[in-house]
Amino acid sequence: MPRLIDLIRAGHRIERHHPWPRAVVDGDTWRTTAHAFADGGLSLLGLWGEPSRVHMAVLDERTSDIGVISLDCPDRQFPSVAAHHPPALRLERTLHDLFGLQAMGIPDSRPWLDHGRWQTRFPLGERLDASVDAAPYQFLSAEGDSLHQIAVGPVHAGIIEPGHFRFTASGETVVRLEQRLGYTHKGVEGLMAGSTIEQAARLAGRVSGDSTVAYGLAFAQAVEAAQRIAVPPRALLLRALMAELERLANHLGDIGAICNDASFALMQAHCAVLRESVLRAADAAFGHRLMRDLVVPGGVARDIAGDGADAIRAALDQIRRHFPALVELYDNTASLQDRTVSTGIVAPTLARQFAAGGYVGRASGRDHDARRKPGYLPYDGLRFEVPVLSDGDVNARVWIRIREVEQSLALAYQILIGLEAGPVQVPLHNAAEPCEGMALVEGFRGDILAWLRLNGDRIERCHLRDPSWFQWPLLEAAIEGNIVADFPLCNKSFNCSYSGQDL
């Protein structure tokens, strides 16, 4: 089985790509890599394109190495990875929609983000004008006696993002779920190309609003890697503080919302109070409830307010006082457990195959956390544990969140103690030569990949891969054999980002 380092050595190594290597390889090495994904030695972290080039980010599961394999495809064709490794499928369909790059041998060539409404085809490649053609999308079929279809969305019943779910059910039991996403596609990568670093940072913070800190951090780290800039220690700690507050707020919101989808509103009310206390503390400390536009390349945009640390400590204390009773409530309410235990199971093999990050992966035995592997500052100096379970059901995804709330609390306290005076931002260089950088950052939902090429103070190309890309398909698998009425519960336990995957 090939190691990543061998695959990189087999290609032409690109200078000025940091912190991990990138190599341009030939078609054979590309195919070898695709087979290695299927064997399980390597994991796919991302697959993205340029007008006549494809890249994939690879994680070597044995050595924890990360690298990028690139293939030039002047004829706009490349060997399909999805033919051997299904997690690449939606990414390859997207490559065709955005760039016109054709994956040869792809098992499903339907469009993904392109709904036929852009008046243009291949918007990031060689553009073609197109008339608006909203031809009906061909959903996959399921055949058998007394099957019926239920179409849901894109406008849903709750206050959530738009997407379409097509269920095929036999009575109450779901036989097949097929997702159709792309409704919130805003063309972020198109807007970023040619923009200034500052404009692109704002866009990165708006890829998925609930992860605005994590996206800001991923983008900033990629810029800093490309320009080889070291961020001051205080800025690193403030960034981690914001990231942990964001994780706390989202996990608290999710725990409540999952229970609410099992009609247990009491938990929702209590968790919402704790979530609100985090947001108010963030507002007091950093001037924005979601801490948007605060992590910027070079550091943080503003220092914590004078009484900010006290406000945050008060919120943390409140959670530490009240959360254990809520955990006990969750654990001891049989009617609630009846809904969450053994519902929506993701098999550990699937989580591994899709390299699913966050609570989806960790509830199904995949022990991966970008704060640990590859790891980034300041987490090497902080104590925390990465909880892992293997049941893979809704209950396990709730428990992972509960444990992570406890870990984030502990981390936030440590950071507040370790906060020392100092600068919070350093200026960026204005590099003469193009340079490339990438980053892998742990958002509340999982690992966010950022890759970019800078040319002076401009972004030449930037790709941001949301963790949801490798989680959405697992939801299709998780719901199979469950009843339709449990779908909201399963969906909330995943809480994938629509906007993050639609980009």
Partner 1 sequence: MRKLLFQSLFRQPLTEQAPRPDDAALAELAAMVGRTARRRLGRSLSIREVDAGSCNGCELEIHALSNPYYDVERFGIRFVASPRHADVLLVTGPVTKNMREALERTYRATPDPKWVVAAGDCARDGGCFAGSYAVVGGVSAVIPVDLHIPGCPPSPIAILRGLVSLLEAVDSGVAAR
Binding site for partner 1 (CB under 8 A): 113, 115, 117-120, 123, 134, 154-155, 157-162, 182-188, 190-191, 199, 202-203, 206-210, 212, 253, 266, 269-270, 272-273, 275-276, 279, 289-290, 292, 325, 329, 332-333, 497-499
Please say which residue, 234 or 275, places its beta carbon nearer to partner 1: 275
What secondary structure does DSSP assign to 309-350, as a single string?
HHHHHHHHHHHHHHHHHHHHHHHH-HHHHHHHTTSS---HHH
Please say which residue, 35 or 206, places its beta carbon nearer to partner 1: 206
Bridge partners of residue 300, in order along the sequence:
295
Q: How far is the CB of 391 from partner 1 (least distance, A)?
A: 24
Please say which residue, 53 or 164, places its beta carbon nearer to partner 1: 164
Q: How far is the CB of 20 from partner 1 (least distance, A)?
A: 28
User: What SS3 string covers 216-252?
Assistant: HHHHHHHHHHHHCCCCCHHHHHHHHHHHHHHHHHHHH
Q: How far is the CB of 277 from partner 1 (least distance, A)?
A: 9
Q: How far is the CB of 159 from partner 1 (least distance, A)?
A: 5
Q: Please return the burial class of 170, using the count of CB atoms within 10 Å of its CB with bins 0-12, 13-18 and 19+.
A: middle
Please say which residue, 76 or 292, places its beta carbon nearer to partner 1: 292
Peptide bond into 374 cis (omega under 30): yes
Q: How far is the CB of 175 from partner 1 (least distance, A)?
A: 25
Q: How far is the CB of 266 from partner 1 (least distance, A)?
A: 7
49 φ, ψ (degrees, to nearest 5): -135, 170
Q: Which two tokens stand for residue 155?
A: 């406008």
Residue 133: CA atoms inside 13 Å, Cβ hemisphere, count? 8
Rounded Cα–Cα distance for residues 125 and 114 (Å): 14
Q: How far is the CB of 43 from partner 1 (least distance, A)?
A: 27
Please say which residue, 253 or 297, places its beta carbon nearer to partner 1: 253
Please say which residue, 149 or 195, places its beta carbon nearer to partner 1: 195
Please say which residue, 11 or 163, places its beta carbon nearer to partner 1: 163
Residue 164 gets which letter from DSSP?
A: E
CA angle 275, 358, 398 (to 5 degrees): 55
Rounded Cα–Cα distance for residues 97 and 95 (Å): 6
Amino acid letter at 275?
R
325: Cβ contacts below 8 Å, ≥ 6 apart = none
Q: How far is the CB of 332 from partner 1 (least distance, A)?
A: 7
- Helix axis angle for 394-418 and 487-494, nearest 10°, is 30
Q: How far is the CB of 270 from partner 1 (least distance, A)?
A: 7
E strands along 30-90, which residues?
42-50, 53-60, 66-72, 77-79
Please say which residue, 279 or 400, places its beta carbon nearer to partner 1: 279
Please say which residue, 206 or 372, places its beta carbon nearer to partner 1: 206
